[in-house]
Chain A
Amino acid sequence: MTDPLGLDPGREPEHPSARDLELLAFDGDDLHRGSSLESHVRGCDVCRDTVHVLRADRDAFLVRRPPAAFVARLETQQSPAPRWPFAVAAVGLVAAAAAVLLVPSAPPDVRLRGEGDGLRVLVSRGDGPATPHDGRPLEAGDILRFAVTTDVAGFAMIANVDDRGRVTTYVSSSPVDVGRDHVLPGSIALDDFVGVERLFLFVSDRPLDASAVERALTESYARAEGRLDAIADVEIDARLTTVTIRKRGPP
């Protein structure tokens, strides 16, 4: 059977299969005690090393992605999510000629990849404290900060695309821990831009390159032919969550 891809099943006849080594590594020794597999691995440096590396890699994986956080996220996906999980903030809103409306159609409104890291936008006005936004109109000059919930210890970055296709990094690649509401460094002050913007949260287990992210968003916007809501394929290897911002013009 000729093989145009040059694939090689890779198994030396005297060694167990990759599947069997994984079974031994991850099932644990007890399940395979006394077996021919365990006996071979005990006497074979190569296979013993393979099992050792698999177990070490698993231990490292579980440090970055602990079971409690992972299962907690599964549980939230088991039950229907509220439209917006936060209580209405008692913020004294003032009608403004130009206001920003933060409208999450669902928090977040689109999950392009990943089942949803959480992105919470915190709003402060004047000297007031930052409060989680619940979708009510905001004002130009409001200060936004971003709280991320994730089950991966790694890095988060936030970028923005407006409906003219301008891409802006709001928060550069910043370390995040597993858990809820990790507030990212920095903040942005809303300008008087009128239109639609989309915030994109990227989460990765490696640092994110802002120029690569901005380039990918620019290309996605172009492929979507200028339609913000049609951005669906951002070529960055990271988990992606997005929220839409709408700004109302004067009445």
Chain B
Amino acid sequence: MDTDEVSALYEKYGYAVHRRCLRLLGSTAEADDALHAVFLRVMRYGDTRRGEAPLPWLYRIADRHCFDVLRKRKREASPEESTRHLDRRASTEPSGDSPERASQVRQVLGRCGRNVQEVAVLYYVDEMTQEEVAAAVGYSRKTVRQKLAKFLETARRLLAEDMS
């Protein structure tokens, strides 16, 4: 994809991609990295988009990058440590969740398989219904429910580990 096309995409959607990465990763620096990685990929492979709507396509690239980052992360800092590093003016995450809750969700996401991660983000971040999630990823509604159950099961297990 040439630089004019990339620039036009960035102007329209760069903020949206950065905002999403910030929400998934919880760190401005990592969101900056992710934004660059996404658009570098767009620059290199953007011609393969094949008519898919641009924003869902960009979100898909961003999500996969962020999922890899979350999986590679060592145990995220405890909520207390996390809040110490956050800008004190931002008392809540972009989603409105407390930093502690958002940190927990990221830890859970990092422990899940790719398929569960995709479904959980579409459901909880994008607020899609189970039917919409199913249509977006090509699963049956039953499979979507199973993936969401798996996500919550992972959450329960992690919380139990934290408390023990």
* A interface residues with partner B (beta carbon < 8 Å): 1-7, 9-11, 17-19, 22-23, 25-28, 54, 57-58, 61-62, 65, 67-68, 70-71, 73-75, 77-78, 113-115, 152, 204-206, 235-240
Contact = CB atoms under 8 A, between A and B. Distances in A.
Contacts of B37: 115
Interface in B1-51: 3, 6-7, 10-16, 18-19, 27-30, 32-33, 36-37, 39-40, 43-44
Contacts of A28: 12
B159 interface: yes
Interface residues of B, number: 52
Given A78-B43, A113-B33, A2 B152 contact: yes
B87 to A, nearest CB: 6
Given A67-B10, A71-B10, A77 B127 contact: no
Contacts of A58: 15-16
Interface of B: 3, 6-7, 10-16, 18-19, 27-30, 32-33, 36-37, 39-40, 43-44, 53-56, 77, 85-87, 101, 104-105, 108, 122-129, 132, 145, 148-149, 152, 155-156, 159
B127 A9 contact: yes
18 contacts: A3-B152, A3-B155, A4-B152, A5-B108, A5-B152, A9-B123, A17-B126, A18-B127, A19-B122, A22-B16, A23-B55, A54-B16, A67-B14, A70-B14, A78-B43, A114-B33, A237-B29, A238-B28
Given A5-B108, A113-B29, A113-B33, A26 B12 contact: yes
Given A54-B16, A206-B87, A238-B29, 8 more contacts: A5-B108, A9-B124, A68-B7, A70-B14, A74-B40, A74-B43, A115-B33, A237-B27
Contacts of A62: 11, 14-15
> Which of A1, A2, A7 gathers most chain B CB within 10 Å?
A7
A193 to B, nearest CB: 30
A3 B127 CA distance: 16
A4 B148 CA distance: 12
Given A18-B127, A61-B18, A74-B39, A1 B152 contact: yes
Contacts of B145: 1
A25 B15 CA distance: 11
Nearest to B159: A4
A5 B124 CA distance: 12
Q: Which 9 A-B pairs have the closest CB atoms?
A: A19-B126, A11-B127, A58-B15, A61-B15, A17-B127, A18-B127, A113-B29, A67-B7, A4-B156
